[in-house]
Amino acid sequence: MKQRFAYVTALFIAAGSASTMMSGCASGGAPGQGMIPGGQALNIQRAAGEAGQSQMPAGDRQETARLRTELAFNYFQRGQLSIALEEISSALRADPNYATAYNVLGLVNMDLGENVKAEEAFRRALAIAPQDSDALNNFGWFLCQTKREREGIDRFLLALKNPLYPTPEKPYLNAGICSQRIGNEAAAEEYYRKAFALDPMNAGAMMRLGDMYFRRNDFEKARFYIDRVNKNYEPSAESLWLALRIERKAGDRLAEASFAAQLRRRYPNSPELQLLQQGRFE
């Protein structure tokens, strides 16, 4: 999965989604201000032209910065990163103190592997708006991706201090992922369960809880979460593979065979099918 869609969740998650950044990017979509639909956003591009920006009233400059930043995020999601950078530059020419533009700039540079520039952008966003939960969440994910998991978790917890943050399940999910990376399974489970409690349709949290309980041989709990994923979403190769392994370990050969058949039919070229064919179930 492309990194720009992993904030979500991650990966998922989401771990990415169309409205992620404007209402809290790094782990999945959420309602909030929302993004302008792609076609409409492209139509705005010319209307938000730069002619005479320096002479615009402050309110007009801020609106131009907002529109340009939304355009940048649309291009970012499409993978058109050079155009996204151009739009961010236009946004910051209109309003050099628009924190959201720096937040998007951090995401784009992160996707480009420009970690020094990404960190500078996230820190600039937070210098302007230190309590911005979206920026804290995204910077936390950046820190986790650059092997500073504990610092990242601290940023997620700061993001969660905002009682008006509309999507707290995202920093909880991200905190769980980062906690697992440093071997803190107990904390990871707690964070995943909180993400699931806030959003019972959160596929990232359900997949990770299912896998966690599978590895503990708690098949009832593992089935509960993976069944919710496969029944509420189009099953992925990963979710079918986890369900198959749960049933194999639990001794239900009929269910195992059913998931194996689905994996062969839906994902004949997947790495998961290769593992099945090689008999590598662990």
d(CA 278, CA 212) in angstroms, rounded, equals 23
At residue 41, the pLDDT reads 40
Indicate the range of 43-57, 186-200, 223-237, 241-255 predicted with least confidence.
43-57
Residue 180 has pLDDT above 60, yes or no: yes
Give the per-residue pLDDT at 58: 63
pLDDT of residue 60: 83
Of 30 and 161, more confident? 161
Which residues, in sequence order, are bridge partners of residue 13? 10, 11
Phi, psi dihedrals of residue 11, rounded to the nearest 5°: 50, -15
18 vs 77: CA distance, rounded Å:
7
Identity (one letter) of the amino acid at 271? P
Query: Among residues 91, 88, 125, which one has the least CA distance to residue 108?
Result: 88
In whole numbers, what is the pLDDT of the chain averaged over residues?
A: 85
Mean pLDDT in residue range 231-257: 97
Name the band, by pLDDT with cuts 50, 70 and 90, for residue 6. Answer: very low
Question: What does DSSP assign to residue 182?
Answer: T
pLDDT, mean of residues 144-172: 97
The confidence score (pLDDT) of residue 101 equals: 97
Secondary structure percentages of the chain, helix, strand, coil, to 5: 70, 0, 30
Q: Mean pLDDT over residues 10-38, rounded?
A: 35
pLDDT digits 0-9 by tens, 41-78 = 444 344 444 444 555 666 788 999 999 999 999 999 99
Contact 145, 181 (CB under 8 A): no
Average pLDDT on 8-13 reads 30
